[in-house]
């Protein structure tokens, strides 16, 4: 067929994949074309709307820098990231749940001794985190790695702070022979995802707020086990019920117990009130 109408165009485009020798790629592209064509027919897309969409995606790409990933933010705010995670890492009773990576991961955070203060010079209320990394059957995992990052107590990540060029509130900690980890950071607060770019404009147009509930990020890994990209959410935080990126999981909501100024769990003395947080991560075998 050389000429196509609204109904026949889809099969014609898919037919051009007949020489594609990668079955998985062929399947993905066939489905993508089918859904995109159905979407265009469904909403009766106008030419202005199509051009607006092209301009929007162009803006999303042009907003990306070494330190900012607007496409991940777009995927997160449309619920696609969490959908992909849910399909690939279904919740399994007795193992730590996954959630979104988010746009603020910075690879290569320094490895620090257990007990380190990862948030030296960072605004926020002190929080002492501890717990264990265990196998699914409850064996302690020695030398498991926690790659940790967090915003400050005002909800800003280092890469968002003007003039801040180094890593802040980031670090990697390994477990001891009993699978234990402990470190100091701050109690994270709720924060808006970046709203000064095209994704922010999209959220405003949708009538949505941009906030995420307070959380600290971690990628927990151990040899022979499946790594888990996850958060600990602050119990009682604002926006637990309406996370802008749909990443909230009940199993990751964690109590932050408040203590008066004085002796901290690491033996130091803290001159302002502080929090303690305890969470055990169970990892499934690889």
| Residues engaged in binding Fe ion (CB under 5 A) | 102
Indicate the residue among 102 and 153 with the shorter CB distance to Fe ion. Answer: 102
Indicate the residue among 116 and 158 with the shorter CB distance to Fe ion. Answer: 158
Please list, residue by residue across 230-261, b when 16 or more beta carbons sit within 10 angstroms of its beta carbon and e when fewer do.
bbbbbeebebbeebbbbbbbeebbbebeeeee
- Give residue number: closest CB to Fe ion: 102
Indicate the residue among 151 and 179 with the shorter CB distance to Fe ion. Answer: 151
Tell me the closest approach of the beta carbon of residue 282 to Fe ion, in angstroms. Answer: 22
Indicate the residue among 148 and 270 with the shorter CB distance to Fe ion. Answer: 148
Tell me the closest approach of the beta carbon of residue 191 to Fe ion, in angstroms. Answer: 7
Phi and psi angles of residue 144, each rounded to the nearest 5 degrees, phi first: -65, 150
Indicate the residue among 145 and 232 with the shorter CB distance to Fe ion. Answer: 232
Tell me the closest approach of the beta carbon of residue 23 to Fe ion, in angstroms. Answer: 37
Indicate the residue among 102 and 200 with the shorter CB distance to Fe ion. Answer: 102
Tell me the closest approach of the beta carbon of residue 130 to Fe ion, in angstroms. Answer: 21
Tell me the closest approach of the beta carbon of residue 182 to Fe ion, in angstroms. Answer: 21
Tell me the closest approach of the beta carbon of residue 95 to Fe ion, in angstroms. Answer: 22
Tell me the closest approach of the beta carbon of residue 67 to Fe ion, in angstroms. Answer: 14
**Secondary structure (DSSP) of the chain:** -----TTTHHHHHHHTTTT---HHHHHHHHHHHHHHHHHHHHHT--HHHHHHHHHHHHHHHHH-BTTB-HHHHHHHHTTHHHHHHHHHS---TTSPPP----TT--S-PPB--TT-BTTTT--S-EEEEEEEEEETTS-B-TT-EEEEE---TTS--GGGSTT--S--SEEEEE--TTSEEEEEEE----EEPP-SSHHHHHHHHHT---EE--EEEEEEE-TTB--EEEEEEETT-TTTTS-TTS---GGGEE--EEE-SEE-TTS-EESS-EEEEE--EEE-B-
Indicate the residue among 148 and 202 with the shorter CB distance to Fe ion. Answer: 148
């Amino acid at each position: 067929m050389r000429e196509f109408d609204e109904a026949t165009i889809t099969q014609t485009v898919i037919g051009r994949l007949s020489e594609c020798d990668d079955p998985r790629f062929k399947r993905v592209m066939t489905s993508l074309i089918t859904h995109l064509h159905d979407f265009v027919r469904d909403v009766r897309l106008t030419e202005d709307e199509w051009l607006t969409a092209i301009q929007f995606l162009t803006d999303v790409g042009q907003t990306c820098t070494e330190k900012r990933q607007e496409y991940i933010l777009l995927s997160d705010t449309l619920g696609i990231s969490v959908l992909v995670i849910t399909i690939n890492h279904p919740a399994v009773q007795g193992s730590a749940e996954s959630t979104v990576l988010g746009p603020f991961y910075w690879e290569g955070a320094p490895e620090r001794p257990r007990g380190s203060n990862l948030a030296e010079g960072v605004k926020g209320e002190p929080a002492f985190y501890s717990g264990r990394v265990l196998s699914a059957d409850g064996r302690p995992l020695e030398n498991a790695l926690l790659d940790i990052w967090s915003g400050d107590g005002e909800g800003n990540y280092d890469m968002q702070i003007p003039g801040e060029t180094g890593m802040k509130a980031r670090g990697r900690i390994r477990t001891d022979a009993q699978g234990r980890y402990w470190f100091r950071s701050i109690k994270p607060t709720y924060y808006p995802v970046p709203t000064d770019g095209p994704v922010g404009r999209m959220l405003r147009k949708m009538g949505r707020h941009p906030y995420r509930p307070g959380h600290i990020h971690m990628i927990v890994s151990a040899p022979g086990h499946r790594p888990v990209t996850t958060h600990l959410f602050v119990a009682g935080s604002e926006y637990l019920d309406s996370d802008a990126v749909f990443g909230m999981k009940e199993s990751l909501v964690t109590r932050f117990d408040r203590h008066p100024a004085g002796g901290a769990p690491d033996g130091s003395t803290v001159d302002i009130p502080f929090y303690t947080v305890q969470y055990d991560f169970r990892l499934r075998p690889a």
